[in-house]
Amino acid sequence: MRILKLLAVLLVAGLGTAALWYLPNRPVPLDPPPGGKLKSVSFAPFRDGQSPLTRVYPSTGQIDEDLAAIAPQVAGIRTYTSLEGLEVVPELAKKHGLQVTMGAWLSSKLDKNEAEVNSLIALANRYPDTITRVIVGNEVLLRGELTPEQITGYLRKVKAAIKQPVSYADVWEWWLKYPQMAKEVDYITIHLLPYWEDIPASVEKGAEHIAWSYREISQRFPGKPILIGETGWPTAGRARGAAAPGLVAKAQFINQVIRLAGKEGFDVNIIEAFDQNWKQKLEGTVGGHWGLYTVDRKPKFSLAGPVVENPKWIEHAALAVIAGSALVGVLAASGPALPLSGLAALAVLSDGFASLYLHAADLGVHWSYYWQDLTLTAVMLALTGALGLCILMAAHRVLAGRALPAESLRGLVGDIGYGRLDRVGAVVTLALTALLVAWSFLIVFDGRYRNFPTWYAAVPALGLPILGWLRAGRRPAGTDWRSAMAAGSLFRPAVTVARTPVRAPRAELWLGRLLLAGATLTLLAEGVLPVDAPLRGWLAGTSAMPLSAIDWAHPNVEALVWAGLQALLSLPFLASARLARLARAARPAGAARPGEVRP
């Protein structure tokens, strides 16, 4: 009978877990886009282990393979350099029937600039039918590496040497700041990336934002041809204001842009063909995930739909159910029998922990590329996994027992009990929370390229209060709910009461305060939009978006969730601090303070 109850509980919990995985991964239909191929995509054929930063470049064979892979879907490509092994692109593109917008990379390295420009001129003259236009320099003014006069010199040199139209590419607002550049080019190349705008736009308003910005440029420079040289949407990384990365979001955005371009006659280049993990060094996780294809050269979705946010959700759900069921089985076999309600609660907790942990592990591995990111991921997963197991073991002990005895207040530092579960639970709680606090303030003050640690925080922020709530149901009569929630005794087989404490829980007090401060600052700095971006733009004179562009209906949900998790996580720590104050208030007049010796 006990086995049958266990199997029934695991089955119901497993079905519930599968349903929770399915809900955010329901297929999203897309209207088939008009026309056939995409007109143009950005082409940077770097693979893992290759990067212009390390000067390890793709081979001719790899470039040929990449062009062959995208040729059925696109009519043309845009490159950003005429060196670094990409000199072979025009010849190979001709072989695959692709037109090329060839670029020359300009930077503060003047000798390299000359080599780039000379190579561009030579290629444009050698392949006049394949290279239909060229772009000299990409966001050089944005990076502040050259002056408008220096860029103008390179533009004039190229225009005098080739027959194809010549342009310079930069963020659309920088053309408004440096309007003199327009007379030096045959066509204006603007970058319109709603995700990176000072006031980010949601995917629902992405096409509207592009149309508005395009009109601003066309009205400022009437009669000048315009190329949208970059537009796209990331599939991984942190949210910025209303702009949240995702696979479905990218598919919807690209679908909208194709329709907008067809309706308005816009000339559009999509960024980009393949994910580029090396860019994470410059722009964080989000920088490496703008591709229509993964770094393994697999298409992410079909433009005709339907699209699923996590195509592997069935495998992940199955792993979560198997892992959660195994945890329940081990705990049930190693301790006293649980009532049906206790078994059900343990199964829900186990499946929930397994789901959160597997999702965090999947994102951590997928989003990390460089060794420092992989190391941080490993540390966070180790701490999160250890804490989750401690919470499950402590919950099993509570669910299997009766009323918990009372004991004096204990702290996480210096008085962590004598059992292994007490020690490990306290140390891991302290370490993980301290890391999350540090991460929170880094996001607030230097967060442009930092991910929110939402999935790492979910286990402690949800698990610790739930454990406290379970303990509250077993606390002695007449004790405060905080006695069951106090961080210092969450993993002990007893409930804290407001007596004179053994040690003032200063660590808990400061962690609780810092978590609340982090939550508040997160709401202010990231809740609606990243406030530092428009401030910098307005100070630099490059922010052309009006305040009315703020999408109040689409706040940064990821930031709000992260702030909420910090507030939840603060509860056990503030409960300890509150009990300490109650204990001091209840101390008889004239009694010695903890640790105080009186004659």
Q: What is the pLDDT of residue 414?
A: 53
Domain boundaries, the chain: 1-25+311-401, 37-287, 403-540+551-588
* Residue 403 banded pLDDT, cuts 50, 70, 90: confident
Residue with the bigger pLDDT between 418 and 583: it is 583
Q: pLDDT value at position 599?
A: 38
Q: What whole-number distance in Å separates Cα of residue 431 and Cα of residue 460?
A: 11
Backbone φ/ψ region at 167: left (φ over 0), alpha (ψ -120 to 50), beta: beta
* CATH 1.25.40.10 correct for 37-287: no
Q: How confident is the model at residue 589 (pLDDT cuts 50, 70, 90)?
A: very low
pLDDT at 578 over 80: no
CA distances from 540 to 137, 356, 402, 534 (A): 21, 42, 65, 10
Kindly state the average pLDDT of the residues 8-29: 94
pLDDT digits (tens, 9 = 90+) for 311-359: 999 999 999 999 999 999 999 888 778 888 899 999 999 999 999 999 9
Mapped onto helix, strand or coil, the DSSP state of residue 281 is helix
In whole angstroms, give the CA distance from residue 554 to residue 284: 23
Task: Tell me how crowded residue 354 is: count the other CB atoms within 10 A of its CB.
Answer: 25
Alpha-carbon dihedral angle through residues 247, 248, 250, 256, given to the nearest 10 degrees = 170
Separation of first and last alpha carbons in the chain: 64
Higher-pLDDT residue of 409 and 88 is: 88
**Residue 587: band (very low, low, confident or very high) from pLDDT cuts 50, 70, 90:** low
Concatenating the DSSP letter of every residue in 223-251 gives T--EEEEEE---SSS--BTTB---HHHHH
- Please write the tens of the pLDDT for every residue from 218-265: 999 999 999 999 999 999 999 999 999 999 999 999 999 999 999 999
Strand runs (DSSP E) across 223-347, as ranges? 226-231, 267-270
**pLDDT beyond 50 at 214:** yes
155 phi, psi to nearest 5 deg: -60, -45
Q: 272's torsion region: left (phi>0), alpha (psi -120 to 50) or beta?
A: beta
* H or E element in which residue 141 lies: helix 140-143
pLDDT of residue 490: 87
Using pLDDT thresholds of 50, 70 and 90, give the confidence band for residue 553: confident
pLDDT grade, residue 408 (50/70/90)?
low
What's the CA gap between 465 and 575, in Å, rounded? 11
Mean pLDDT throughout 409-429? 72
With CA atoms as reference, report the closest residue to 104 among 125, 135, 64.
135
**pLDDT value, residue 251:** 96
Provide the pLDDT for residue 527. Answer: 87
The packing angle between helices 454-472 and 340-367, to 10°, is 170
pLDDT at residue 458 in the model? 97
Interval 84-95 mean pLDDT: 97
pLDDT in tens, 459-499: 999 999 999 999 988 887 777 777 888 887 888 887 777 55
> 163 vs 125, 126, 166, CA distance in Å?
8, 11, 9
Asked if residue 370 has pLDDT above 90, the reply is yes
| 92-146 tens-digit pLDDT | 999 999 999 999 999 999 999 999 999 999 999 999 999 999 999 999 999 999 9
One-letter-per-residue 3-state SS of 542-556: CCCCCHHHCCCCCCC
CB 389 within 8 Å of CB 480: no
* Cα(550)–Cα(548) distance, integer angstroms: 5
Buried-state track 107-137, b at ≥16 Cβ within 10 A, e below 16:
eeeeeebeebbbbbbebbeebeebbbbbbbb
Q: Which span out of 74-78, 196-200, 534-538 was modeled with the highest average pLDDT? A: 74-78
Name the nearest CA neighbour of 579 among 474, 479, 494, 493.
479
- 62-71, 200-209, 297-306, 587-596: which has the minimum mean pLDDT? 587-596
Give me the sign of the Cα torsion angle 196, 199, 201, 206.
Answer: negative
Q: Are 407 and 495 in contact, with CB atoms under 8 Å apart? A: yes
pLDDT score of 476: 78
On the question of pLDDT at 591 being above 60, the answer is no
- Tell me the average pLDDT across 10-14: 93
For the cut 60, the answer to whether the pLDDT of residue 593 exceeds it is no
